[in-house]
Structure 1
Amino acid sequence: MDTIVATRNGRVRGTTDDGVSVFLGIPYAAPPFGANRLRPPQPPASWTGVRDATVLGPEPPQPQFGPDPTGLLYDPAVPGEECLNLNVHTPDPGASGLPVMVWSPGGSFQFSSGGSYDGSRFARDGVVCVTINWRTGADGFLYLGEDDDGANLGLLDQIAALTWVRDNIAAFGGDPDRVTVFGESAGAMCIGILLSMPRAEGLFRRAVLQSGAAHHVIPADAATRIGARLAEVLGVPPTRAAIAEVPVERLLEAQARINAEVLTSPDPARWSAEVVASTMPFHPVIDGEVVPAVPIDRIVAGAGADVDVLVGTNSDDWRMFVVLGGLMDSVTDEALAGPVEVYGSQSMAAFGLPAESALPAYRAAHPGGTAGDLLAAVETDWWVRLPAVRLADAHAPSPAGTFMYEFAWPSPAFGGQLGACHALEIPFVFDTLDRGREQMLGGALGEDPPQQLADAMHAAWVAFARDGDPGWPRYDLARRATMRFDVTSSVIDDPYARERDLWAGVR
């Protein structure tokens, strides 16, 4: 059945089926092409008549996944210029005061596909769920120095989407004063930054950060060098106007070349230790305006204190990258203990750890583990676990609530090598186990994933969005209560004491 809703820019036609109304591809900003190329998001144009919102809108410029025999990735890959759009799932456009959840997808700051996620089960359970696209790669995070007025466009896109939600979500039954942002990986890292951003104040009341926190930003000088190198590869002056004239496909090719150069660089100082360790040359930069300072430092100082926070990680987050990257069986103890100049991200030194003390500590914590197991544990801690713990520690004294979780159910895929890997929790959070491979990490679920775990996680996320309480004790610095989700879930106190001690003093 068709359903029509009036937004501030015009009416949209969606579909209603089995008690859920769906509106797809609604623009929240003007197409970032032509005069808007590599510029901050502009308001969308209004329209007359009724706009069709029954098919997914385009995605922002990004590399294509290509064939994925693993079934781990899912992307509808819709082409087109009107790519700053969002999708709305609502139980009742005629309702009022419903909690709202806005999903920011992950993708290593290279991909963004709000259409890859199905919010219908949130709508089934009384939540208006919005999934968004935002610009990634050089399109979203090119930076050319202190006079550059186009920094962090991917973050500004998310601000524009949240502004659209504030102004329009009541027409879909939602409460603009009860918005929860939630995201995974790069999406969660963006939310950690939004918690610290003056421009985001007042746009959301709660935040869920899945395997990402408030740490992964790069210094302005390093981002400037990356931008200059991109212009050099393109053969154009290092100005935003000149780079904006470059065709999209050529820009993506140059972006891929920069990515490869960072991954294989024998000289970490050329890019900065942050860039080499993260392997992401295009991601949020401390430009002094959009991102005023290191986000976690601002949160320690009180930013985001009025926002309820739910933050957590998966037990084996980075095993997926170690396994799929072919490192699980090839990395050696010598590589882990070696200098960063030789072994790059396989070295503990790349993450700031002194190998002479850290390697024995990781061996003791993972008895019988291979060098690949230890590398996966180190990368999990550096990328997501310690940032999550430090965000929870920083936010815990705030008047708003702080909650922590860990997802521990191991994937049966790849002979069990993946463990409870990165993004595996998403189908459980969205309660979409039945969609199989037509979702992110669907191919890692196996034949009979535990529905009771999806019931528990999905209900916790709904409860948090509705009431600010996911159903277990708040995280505080005395107890550090953490819900560990598995087939049988339980609250564990201070599960990361060893990691906190080991990484003390390492940024």
Structure 2
Amino acid sequence: MLSLSVAFLALSAHASPIFSRDDGTLVTTAQGAVQGTLVTPTVRQWLGIPYAAPPTGTSRFAAPQPAPSWSSTLSASAFGNSCPSVLDTEFLTIIGLLQQQESIAYDEDCLNLNIWAPATSRPQGGAVMLWVYGGGDMFGSSNTPYYSGTTFVEDHDDLVIVTFNYRMDIFGFPNAPQQLTNVGLLDLDAAIQWVYANIAAFGGDPERITIFGESAGALAVDAYAFSHPTDTVVKGIIAESGTAQLTSILQIGSTSPSETNSSWNTVANALGCGTAGDAAQLACMQAVPWQTLLSEVVSGGESFTPYPDGQTIFSDVSTRSSNGEFLKVPFLVGNNANEGDIFAVAFEEGDFGNTIPVATTVLSDAVTEVVFLCPASKAANDRTNAGVATWRYRFEGVYLDATNNNADLRAFHTVEVPMVFGTYNLSTFSYAPVSNEIALSAWMQSAWVTFAQNPVSGLSSYGWTQYSTNILSSTIARLGNSDNPSGATYSPPIDFDVGCGAVNALTPYVIDLIDDLGSIF
């Protein structure tokens, strides 16, 4: 779910002398002191802490570097800059976030994070959940109301929530022949390492870190498992509506970055940097003001997404998954019942001014199965076959405050995020949450927290049985199903996965449709 430019002061400008306080909001990190706030009587909050150096100048398109130190106390009472974004206006309008995302401050100096932790009067040393937002790697920001960690921490002991910004579009996934690494995914690595080194000072346990994300964020956390198969820092992974296999399913990287008509060379040529693909071209692109660079990407309609660089994304990820070549930590994965609704509606309303009911459903179902359902099934099966403790869900809840009473929207892509964060009450639409929605949100949030607190067996004690590859075993949690709208019912894989065997034949046709839809994850 979310993500143009607004001038904003550098984060370092927030540094100023601050008198010591006794509420636990003044914390010392490896880079210096940070002053947060007591956002509720039981929750401490820090916003906009740099976790890496500004990726500007010659550091543009490069791997993130360690955050610089500061001598004065850093004020962490306001969100830092968000990374430059190509906002999907149709998508953001449908979910009610366009105005908010247009109003926040964007700048290339954007590698910062936010922390919510229990007040010092509560137990410390909590499990850590690090959130990765979605947005198709084109837009998104940790400065999004639905991603606030306040409710998470207020309602659960033994928990710390972290969110962060990472580079997107051409800034994070330049696909430049001189530098093919997906630096936006390396930003996740940097955030994880910063959290591991510093989170104890905020009341978190560095030995209990779970990474969780949705859509492109889910792709990122799953991709982390493939690029870090022997990692010892991350202890659990939650992937909502996305897996690493999206890169191969969506044929990402099918155009060589060195081709003259690649997105990189097209933008570079338009900006006077040529198509040589040499060091001079890269230096030229690093010198272009970021606003000019982003404007050219938008006006030219070019797309920049993760490339199979052999370091963060692998072209043979499906085979690697089948062979168990990934980080073997507990895995929670799932998708929404009608993921494709929002893409079909955005496409039809954008191109035709309204939707075509039957066409909407057919297109939505195809996208849901090819892009979300079957990859989640394969990921769950491969993890289980490798002996990894795995849980799988299917979200089915439909609520007016999420759909804005749009009959074409059911359990669509991104709709579960406010349920997980307990932020559904922040909807901008004029519908109040209903009792079943409130109860289901509490159930889901507690389930996610239980997983993070004890990834190996926590959910089993919660009443949710580990996923089984036995197609008749009822281990898929159906969340918000009419049989139990405030909790979970359980069904076997055969109820949903029977069509996945035919997906390979359908995929090329669905991919053609996706090309017309534009951003899909």
- Measured against the shorter chain, the TM-score band is 0.7 to 0.9
Q: 1:196 aligns with which of 216, 223, 226?
A: 226
Return the alpha-carbon distance in structure 1 between the equivalents of residues 334 and 500 of structure 2: 15
- State the alpha-carbon separation in 2 of the partners of residues 93 and 78 from structure 1: 31
| Residue among 421, 426, 435 paired with 2:417 | 426
1:130 aligned to 2:162?
yes
- Deviation per CA, 1:1-59: give whole Å up to 9, x if none: 67101110011000112210000000000111123222111111101121100111001
One-letter amino acid of the structure 1 residue matched with residue 348 of structure 2: G
Which residue of structure 1 lines up, in the alignment, with residue 18 of structure 2? Answer: none
Structure 1 stretch 230-239 or stretch 462-471: which is displaced more? 230-239
Supply the distance in 2 between the matched residues of 1:200 and 1:57 (Cα, whole angstroms).
33
Q: How does 1:223-238 map to 2 (within 5 A)?
A: 223-224=257-258, 225-237=262-274, 238=277
Matches within 5 A, 1:126-205: 126=157, 127-145=159-177, 148-149=178-179, 151-198=181-228, 201-205=231-235
User: 1:243 Cα deviation (Å)?
Assistant: 1.3
Letter in 1 for 2:498: R
Contact 2:332 2:392 in 1 (8 A): yes
Q: Provide the residue aligned with 2:293 in structure 1.
A: 251
> Residue 168 and residue 199 in structure 1: after superposition, are their counterparts in 2 closer, same or farther (change >3 A)?
farther
- Counterpart of 2:330, as a letter, is D
- Cα offset, 1:66, TM superposition: 6.4
Residue by residue, what CA displacement relative to the aligned partner does 1:395-445 show, whole Å, maximum 9, x if unpaired? Answer: 1123331110011012332432110111111111001222233xxxxx497
Q: Are 1:104 and 1:188, in contact at CA under 8 Å, matched by a contact in 2?
A: yes
Inter-partner Cα distance in structure 1 for 2:219 and 2:318: 11
Q: Is the 8 A contact 1:196 1:304 kept in 2?
A: yes
What does 1:469-480 correspond to in 2, within 5 Å?
Answer: 469-470=458-459, 471=462, 472-478=464-470, 479=473
| Kept in 2: contact 1:159–1:199 (CA 8 A) | no
Partner of 1:47: 70
Give the structure 2 partner of residue 497 of structure 1.
Answer: 497
Aligned with residue 108 of structure 1, among 126, 136, 139: 136
> Are 1:459 and 2:452 counterparts?
no
- Residue equivalent to 2:37: 15
Deviation for aligned residue 1:189: 1.0
For 1:170-227, what per-residue CA distance to the aligned partner results, in whole angstroms no more than 9, with x for missing partners? 1111111111111111111111211100388233111111111111222375344332
Q: Does 1:448 align with 2:448?
A: no
Q: TM-score, normalised by structure 2?
A: 0.79
CA distance, structure 2, for counterparts of residue 287 and residue 32 of structure 1 = 20
Residues 1:5 and 2:35 aligned together: no
Q: Which residue of 2 aligns with 1:270?
A: none
Residues 1:214 and 2:244 aligned together: yes
Q: 1:445 to 1:191 in 2, by over 3 A?
A: farther
1:232 partner letter:
N
CA distance in 1, matches of 2:26, 2:452: 26
The aligned residue for residue 336 of structure 1 is: none
Flag the 1:31–1:200 CA change in 2: closer, same or farther, 3 A: farther
- For 1:24, the equivalent position in structure 2 comes to 47
Give the Cα separation in 2 of the matches to 1:97 and 1:69.
Answer: 39
Sort the Cα spacing of 1:380 and 1:426 in 2 relative to 1 into closer, same or farther, 3 A.
same
Once the 2 structures are TM-superposed, how far is the Cα of residue 283 of structure 1 from its aligned partner?
1.3
Asked whether 1:386 is paired with 2:423, we answer: no
Structure 1 pair 66/503, CA: closer, same or farther in 2 (3 Å)? closer
Q: 1:297 to 1:176 in 2, by over 3 A?
A: farther
CA shift, 1:394, in A, is 1.2
Question: Whole-Å Cα distance in 2 between the matches of residues 66 and 115 of structure 1?
Answer: 17
Letter in 2 for 1:242: C
Greater alpha carbon shift after TM alignment, 481-490 vs 224-233: 224-233
Contact 2:35–2:77 (CA under 8 A) maintained in structure 1: yes
What residue is the counterpart of 1:483 in the other structure?
Answer: 477
AA aligned to 1:295 is V
**TM-score normalised by structure 1 residue count:** 0.81
Q: Per the alignment, in what secondary structure is the counterpart of residue 180 of structure 1?
A: strand
Cα deviation, residue 475, structure 1: 1.1
Q: Distance in 1 between matches of 2:398 and 2:166?
A: 30
- Are residues 289 and 444 of structure 1, via their aligned partners in 2, closer, same or farther at CA, if it must alter by over 3 Å? farther
In structure 2, what is the Cα distance between the partners aligned to 1:186 and 1:375?
21
Q: Distance in 2 between matches of 1:201 and 1:19?
A: 33
Asked whether the equivalents of residues 223 and 312 of structure 2 are also in contact (C-alpha less than 8 Å), the reply is no
- Per-residue CA shift, 1:373-414, capped at 9, x if unaligned? 111110111221111111111111233311100110123324
Inter-partner Cα distance in structure 2 for 1:198 and 1:316: 32
Q: What is the CA deviation profile of residues 300-357 of structure 1, one whole-angstrom value per residue up to 9, with x for unaligned ones?
A: 22233421111111111110121122269969xxxxxxxxxxxxxxxxxxxxxxxxxx
For residues 437-472 of structure 1, the C-alpha deviation after alignment (integer angstroms, 9 at most, x for no partner) is 3xxxxx497553620111111111011111123331
Instruction: Give yes or no for the alignment of 1:324 onto 2:350.
Output: no
The verdict on how the C-alpha distance between 1:414 and 1:212 changes in structure 2, with shifts beyond 3 A counting, is same
Which secondary structure state, in structure 1, belongs to the residue aligned with residue 163 of structure 2? strand
Note closer, same or farther for the CA distance 1:248–1:220 as it changes in structure 2 (3 Å cut).
same
- The AA in structure 2 aligned to 1:497 is D
102, 111, 114: which is aligned to 1:87? 114
8 Å Cα contact 1:411/1:444 also seen in 2: no
Pick closer, same or farther for the CA change 1:190–1:234 going to 2, 3 Å.
Answer: same
Verify the 8 A CA contact 1:25 1:85 in the aligned structure 2: yes
Work out whether residues 231 and 327 of structure 2, in 8 Å CA contact, stay in contact via their aligned partners in 1. Answer: no
Q: Could you say what the CA RMSD is over the residues aligned between the two structures, in angstroms?
A: 2.8
Alignment gaps of 5+ in structure 2: 1-22, 508-521
Q: Which moved more, 1:289-298 or 1:42-51?
A: 289-298
Q: Per the alignment, do residues 415 and 49 of structure 1 end up closer, same or farther by CA in structure 2, a change over 3 Å counting?
A: closer
Number of matched residues? 446
The aligned amino acid for 1:320 is I
Distance (whole Å) between structure 2 residues aligned to residue 200 and residue 113 of structure 1: 29
- State whether residues 392 and 475 of structure 1, in contact with CA within 8 Å, keep that contact through their aligned partners in structure 2: yes
The verdict on how the C-alpha distance between 1:194 and 1:93 changes in structure 2, with shifts beyond 3 A counting, is: farther
Q: CA–CA distance in 2 between the matches of 1:201 and 1:293?
A: 21
Amino-acid identity (%): 30
Equivalent residue for 2:149, pick from 89, 111, 119? 119
Equivalent in 84, 88, 94 of residue 61 of structure 1: 84
Give, in whole Å, the separation in 1 of the partners of 2:173 and 2:231: 21
